[in-house]
């Protein structure tokens, strides 16, 4: 067998990549991730945030190798199919191959979710052929189900779940590359606390956590809160994201770019295509020169006059309101943008916990007395981190009463 390769990484130091994984790394669908930034346009605020989906995927694979090794040492994999660890490692490596340029932004204008995009990339073509040859004839389909969270594998929780390795990796890497101290997670404690237990609901094997790892789990949850508040939902990051979304939406509506081709682009490849297909664009020029739209109005989620989730979930309705407001303020279409981040299930939790006496109990959003108060933490995040904003290209005076009227009318 060919020897493993060592890849140097600023976060995990040495990442050992086995020959099977190297075959997948060398496929075009994985190599594209070198040119898709992990945090989209956040580099306009945090200059170091130019890291890509490529190194994040390698880091997730690295954590999968470490975790599977720990589970095997304890005998937790004895009842697992012999080829299942290889399928899990492949899923960890390929979990982001369906991502659009500039991260999640395009999903907010109605583009197909990146996990759905990954289906053909994983189950057809060169990557699928490698998976069938190296692991099993049904490996591509099993890998894809793990990525989507639809697998019946006992190890599903390592790839998509309340405590999956993807979250651990991106929080640590994003904090490091942004230069912020918010990603302090006790990774070693978390990985060593992961175990395979009997699910009290199904009596089947599933990934759980030892009770002694609950404090490390708390560190993960607080890190997520801090990163959303200070990085992912930073006002200037959201301004750039809103501008980018409108730029691409304009091109899609004009027919100058095909939605089906979006997932094949790199970050710069998409911008060059937009520039070449539609000529000079004030939005594109503003993004390239970091002339970001400024806040004309903002309020935290709980102050909205009614449920504002339609702003995040209904792009057609949002666009109509944007253009109506812009016209009233004598701005051009696209010079006023509404932004309300999609509310993620960032603090959702449903995981079996093996207690000190060996019994298994599920930790859910109802909390655990003396350990974690998730409802309180989740509400705090919602109230203080998720903000509705109106961004404008030029200074205007926007009356709060007008916003409230629009929200009620829509």
360-363 β-sheet, strand order = 194-198, 205-210, 351-354, 360-363
Domains in the chain (CATH in brackets) are 1-179+234-289 (1.10.3210.10)
pLDDT of residue 231: 95
The residue-averaged pLDDT of 71-96 equals 96
Q: From 158, 183, 170, select the one nearest 65 (Cα to Cα).
A: 158
pLDDT of residue 364: 74
Give the tokens for residue 72.
């095997």
Under the banding of pLDDT at 50, 70 and 90, the label for residue 410 is: low
Under the banding of pLDDT at 50, 70 and 90, the label for residue 367 is: low
Residues 6+ apart with CB under 8 A from 260: none
Under the banding of pLDDT at 50, 70 and 90, the label for residue 305 is: low
> pLDDT (tens digit, 9 = 90+) per residue, 115-148?
888 999 999 999 999 999 999 999 999 999 999 9
- The overall average pLDDT reported for the chain is 89
pLDDT of residue 300: 84
The residue-averaged pLDDT of 379-400 equals 84
Is the confidence at residue 304, as pLDDT, over 80?
no
pLDDT of residue 290: 96
The residue-averaged pLDDT of 294-303 equals 87
> pLDDT (tens digit, 9 = 90+) per residue, 262-282?
989 999 999 999 987 755 578
pLDDT of residue 345: 58
Instruction: Give the range with max mean pLDDT: 26-40, 173-187, 331-345.
Output: 26-40
Question: Percent of the chain, pLDDT > 90?
Answer: 62
Cα separation, 171 vs 282, whole angstroms: 34
pLDDT of residue 343: 66
Is the confidence at residue 374, as pLDDT, over 60?
no
pLDDT of residue 215: 84
pLDDT of residue 334: 94
Is the confidence at residue 45, as pLDDT, over 90?
yes
With 0-12 / 13-18 / 19 or more C-beta atoms within 10 angstroms meaning exposed / middle / buried, residue 299 is middle
pLDDT of residue 404: 77
The helix/strand count (H/E) of the chain reads as: 18, 9
Is the confidence at residue 11, as pLDDT, over 60?
yes
Checking phi first, is residue 406 left (phi over 0); if not, alpha (psi -120 to 50) or beta? Answer: alpha
Cα separation, 61 vs 70, whole angstroms: 14
Is the confidence at residue 375, as pLDDT, over 60?
no
Cα separation, 66 vs 16, whole angstroms: 10
Question: Percent of the chain, pLDDT > 70?
Answer: 91
Nearest-Å Rg of the Cα atoms of the chain is 22
pLDDT of residue 373: 65
Q: 113 vs 292, which has greater pLDDT?
A: 292
pLDDT of residue 100: 93
3-state secondary structure of 22: helix
Under the banding of pLDDT at 50, 70 and 90, the label for residue 23 is: very high
Give the tokens for residue 141.
């389909």
Task: Give the number of other CB atoms < 10 A from CB of residue 78.
Answer: 9
> pLDDT (tens digit, 9 = 90+) per residue, 322-355?
999 999 999 999 999 999 987 665 556 778 889 8
Least confident of 9-13, 57-61, 108-112: 108-112
pTM given for the model: 0.93
């Amino acid at each position: 067998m060919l020897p493993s390769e060592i890849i140097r990484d600023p976060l995990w130091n040495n990442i050992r990549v086995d020959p099977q994984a190297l075959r997948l790394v060398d496929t075009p669908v994985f190599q594209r991730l070198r040119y898709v930034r992990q945090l989209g346009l956040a580099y306009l605020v945090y200059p170091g945030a130019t890291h890509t989906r490529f190194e994040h995927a390698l880091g997730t694979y690295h954590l999968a190798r470490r975790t599977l090794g720990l589970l095997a040492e304890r005998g937790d994999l004895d009842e697992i199919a012999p080829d299942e660890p290889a399928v899990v490692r492949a899923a960890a490596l390929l979990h982001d191959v369906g991502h659009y340029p500039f991260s999640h932004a395009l999903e907010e204008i109605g583009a197909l979710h990146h996990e759905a995009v990954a289906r053909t990339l994983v189950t057809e073509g060169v990557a699928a052929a490698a998976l069938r040859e190296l692991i099993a004839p049904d490996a591509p389909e099993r890998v894809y189900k793990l990525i989507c969270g639809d697998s019946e594998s006992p190890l599903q929780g390592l790839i998509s779940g309340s405590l999956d390795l993807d979250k651990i990796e991106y929080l640590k890497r994003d904090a490091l590359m942004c230069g912020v101290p918010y990603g302090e997670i006790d990774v070693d404690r978390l990985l060593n606390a992961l175990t395979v237990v009997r699910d009290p609901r199904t009596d089947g094997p599933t990934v759980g956590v030892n009770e002694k790892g609950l404090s490390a789990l708390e560190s993960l949850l607080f890190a997520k809160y801090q990163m959303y508040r200070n990085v992912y939902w930073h006002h200037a990051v959201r301004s750039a994201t809103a501008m980018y979304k409108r730029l691409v939406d304009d091109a899609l509506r004009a027919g100058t770019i095909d939605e089906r081709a979006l997932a094949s682009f790199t970050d710069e490849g998409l911008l060059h295509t937009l520039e070449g297909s539609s000529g000079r664009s004030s939005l594109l020029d503003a993004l390239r020169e970091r002339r970001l739209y400024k806040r004309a109005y903002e309020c935290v989620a709980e102050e909205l006059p009614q449920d504002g989730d339609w702003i995040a979930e209904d792009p057609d309705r949002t666009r109509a309101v944007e253009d109506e407001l812009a016209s009233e303020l004598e701005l051009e279409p696209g010079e006023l943008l509404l932004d309300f981040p999609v509310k993620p299930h960032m603090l959702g939790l449903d995981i079996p916990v093996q207690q000190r006496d060996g019994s298994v109990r599920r930790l859910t959003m109802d909390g655990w007395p003396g350990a974690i108060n998730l409802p309180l933490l989740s509400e705090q995040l919602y109230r203080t981190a998720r903000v509705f904003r109106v961004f404008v290209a030029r200074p205007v005076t926007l009356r709060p009463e007008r916003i409230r009227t629009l929200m009620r009318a829509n």
